[in-house]
Structure 1
Amino acid sequence: MTAPSTNDIEFRSVAKRYGSVTAVSDINLAVPKGAFVALLGPSGGGKTTCLRMIGGFEQPSEGTVLINGREMNGVPPYRRPVNMVFQHYALFPHFNVEQNVAYGLRQMRPKLEAAEIARRAKEALEMVRLGGFEKRRVHEMSGGQQQRVALARAIVNKPSVLLLDEPLAALDKKLRTAMQFELQTLQRELGITFVLVTHDQEEALSMSDLVCVMNAGRIVQMARPQEIYDHPADLFVADFVGKTNRLSATLEADGTTLRLADGTALARVGKAASPSGAVTVALRPEAIELVRQPSGGNGQIAGTVTHRIFLGSTAEYQIKVDGLGDFLVTADHRSMQESDLVEPGERVVLKFDPGKMHVFPA
């Protein structure tokens, strides 16, 4: 007897081609039951193609897609234990809210009783906090409310997997943030697997248990959000997920000393030796402290402030360093006075721990 799968979704050596164009190449993916997974990447990275193969809207050219341990190749969307929330919601404008949510229930065979359909639709609406809106017309709803109607319609059939195709893209920033909390809460309450496609790194990091970073049709790194941010697998991940400063450098023969283009030597204390030679260094903006006077020691570079963007609790600075170019620095000003803000034109010192630099082959 075969043991039940511990994964809701599996891709085994999956590829998808459209004529001569390869959209997805040799994808191996395992999504644990009850996980909230974000497929993150730039346009054309392959994330939406993967989502559509899970939903059955596309079939793999090679390899196998499994849901709950069952092979899904050739199985149409309506026979899969999944539902999908589209970017533009795809609600029926001539239906009211209850009719939109109940639509899928009315297509089920054998047919459900009208009372059962009404009960389940009401239950789904209450779950997304829209109880009492059953008779409201779709055009009378705000963008956030319409998104919740689409969610209720997707969960009313109790799928094993819920697919979310950039569902927050049409919302303004404040509402998008509120809906991120709503989706997290809903996922915990339902206990089912959510797969979110997004190109918004903040959205992926803030909402998901696991982030799968994709580029050029391949998975570059899959890990927990903090691991993705703090320990990027390569320069693409370091550059795409969050903001970063990139520097050309040489890793000397001792494997721990970095020499920057202006000749500055930085000792990466406590870091394991790496192959020497030309490298590219990535340093997060928030890992740099701005000070007005040098204090001596390792990891200090002088520069001139060229731009400042005040963001309330933080400020972003662009610092020009001779021989190295421009640095982006994010400074936390929640405990500082306005007079402490560094002004454009000021000379400053960039202070950082070289051990926090990520080093990649050039």
Structure 2
Amino acid sequence: MASASTNDIEFRSVTKNYGAVTAVTDINLNVPKGALLALLGPSGCGKTTCLRMIGGFEQPSEGAVLIDGREMNGVPAYRRPVNMVFQHYALFPHFNVEQNVAYGLRQMRPRIAAAEINRRAAEALEMVRLGGFAKRRIHEMSGGQQQRVALARAIVNRPSVLLLDEPLAALDKKLRSAMQIELQTLQRELGITFVLVTHDQEEALSMADIVCVMSAGRIRQLGSPQEVYDRPADLFVADFVGKTNRIDATMEADGKTLRLADGSAFTAGARSGLVPGEVIVAIRPEAIRLTRAAVGSTSFAGTVTHRIFLGSSAEYAVTVPGLGDFLVTADRRSMNESDLVEPGEAVFLGFDPDMAHVFPAQASSASSA
């Protein structure tokens, strides 16, 4: 009997082995009902293995996976309240749109009346804004329309949890952005828990309520998109989620002063709290001020080597003697001058110490695992 639970999905000390290879290790995870969780990480980090264990395509070697309070270990995929949208959609090319969407309903036992199947298929197509496409052949649909057909087929069975395995990877950038909004809208309308697997940081940050960053089969950080981006738990997360500048430094004996390789120093912000020793300072490109004159105490002279124009903003590569290369994102409206800075120009870089993240240097090698 299912126990009352505020979580749709729970992982309790889950480990998955494939022979001598451990794909995920000691995963503990709670996903509240109606949330959109993004499993984010590089290839081979274990995110797809976790998705497949939720769907019933894999079973844990240790621990337990629960859906709506019920342990799912040993329960086959077709008996779970879960549906999945695959990366390449897996639509039947010899069926039309309506037949693809209704396929799962026609396999259910006891059988559902034909009129009810037609009604629910039509309802699902309306939800994904394909109401007039029921008789269209699959090869006549665009990539974005095929993605919505796959979504309609997944939601027509009214699952408790919808799994999405990089469903937008095959779409171009403009269509991918549009589908991200459509997926969020659909998820809010249905109130279904979505679990999205992606290696695209922007996709995870823009769509998810909860981001789970994984590496080498372990969870490195779990939190809201804002928490993961603004307060990375370690150097791996700071590097992987978004763009980051890294500066080698030494935390001095007072536990507050950071001494940089060029001999300059500044007082660490409230985010440090490290013991004295070798550290790495991580600063987001948009947290660095680029000016033509020195401003403030933490200001470093450098030279622009490259510029990428992005419309409302621009990205600059700046070389600072003794410290190396920096990536800076500058909002054009924040510059005192209306013109862009040109490659070869001398500039100054400054930042608020409270915007810098400080990590132990020994964590650097572990962060690439």
TM-score by length of structure 1 reads 0.97
1:307 counterpart residue number:
306
1:106 counterpart residue number:
106
Contact 2:291 2:335 (8 Å CA) reproduced: no
Give the CA deviation at 1:268.
2.5
1:198 counterpart residue number:
198
Counterpart-to-counterpart distance in 1, 2:167 and 2:114: 30
Counterpart-to-counterpart distance in 2, 1:246 and 1:269: 16
1:340 counterpart residue number:
339
Q: SS at the partner of 2:349?
A: strand
Q: SS at the partner of 1:262?
A: coil
**Cα 1:194/1:100, change in 2 over 3 Å:** same
C-alpha distance after superposition, 1:76-112 (max 9, x if no partner) = 1100000000000000000000000000000011101
1:10 counterpart residue number:
10
Counterpart-to-counterpart distance in 2, 1:269 and 1:134: 59
Aligned residue type for 2:155:
I
Q: SS at the partner of 2:122?
A: helix
Contact 1:256 1:271 (8 Å CA) reproduced: no
C-alpha distance after superposition, 1:245-272 (max 9, x if no partner) = 0111001122121111111101135556
Counterpart-to-counterpart distance in 2, 1:337 and 1:91: 54
Aligned residue type for 2:300:
I
Aligned residue type for 1:61:
S
C-alpha distance after superposition, 1:307-360 (max 9, x if no partner) = 000011110000001111100000011576995210000110001112211000
Counterpart-to-counterpart distance in 2, 1:294 and 1:48: 48
Count of aligned pairs between the two proteins: 361
**Cα 1:270/1:11, change in 2 over 3 Å:** closer
Counterpart-to-counterpart distance in 1, 2:277 and 2:335: 42
2:329 counterpart residue number:
330
C-alpha distance after superposition, 1:5-56 (max 9, x if no partner) = 1110111111111111111111111111110000000000000000000000
Contact 2:2 2:70 (8 Å CA) reproduced: no
Q: SS at the partner of 2:148?
A: helix
Counterpart-to-counterpart distance in 2, 1:271 and 1:299: 17
1:87 counterpart residue number:
87
Give the CA deviation at 1:132.
1.1
TM-score by length of structure 2 reads 0.95
Contact 2:82 2:163 (8 Å CA) reproduced: yes
C-alpha distance after superposition, 1:175-213 (max 9, x if no partner) = 000000000000000001000000000000000000000
1:248 counterpart residue number:
248
Counterpart-to-counterpart distance in 1, 2:165 and 2:2: 33
**Cα 1:127/1:2, change in 2 over 3 Å:** closer
2:38 counterpart residue number:
38
**Cα 1:133/1:337, change in 2 over 3 Å:** farther
Q: SS at the partner of 2:94?
A: coil
Q: Does 1:231 align with 2:231?
A: yes
Q: SS at the partner of 1:57?
A: coil
Identity of aligned residues (%): 80
1:29 counterpart residue number:
29
Q: Does 1:355 align with 2:362?
A: no
Counterpart-to-counterpart distance in 2, 1:268 and 1:58: 46
Contact 1:254 1:273 (8 Å CA) reproduced: no
Q: Which runs of 5+ in 2 are unaligned?
A: 362-369
Q: SS at the partner of 2:242?
A: coil
Give the CA deviation at 1:3.
5.1
- 1:255-334, aligned counterparts within 5 Å? 255-270=255-270, 273-295=273-295, 297-334=296-333
Aligned residue type for 1:351:
G
Q: SS at the partner of 1:232?
A: coil
Counterpart-to-counterpart distance in 2, 1:105 and 1:87: 22
Counterpart-to-counterpart distance in 2, 1:29 and 1:236: 20
Q: SS at the partner of 2:44?
A: coil
Q: Does 1:144 align with 2:141?
A: no
- 1:113-124, aligned counterparts within 5 Å? 113-124=113-124
Counterpart-to-counterpart distance in 1, 2:272 and 2:79: 52
Counterpart-to-counterpart distance in 2, 1:123 and 1:330: 45
Q: Which runs of 5+ in 1 are unaligned?
A: none
2:365 counterpart residue number:
none
**Cα 1:192/1:271, change in 2 over 3 Å:** closer
Counterpart-to-counterpart distance in 1, 2:307 and 2:204: 27
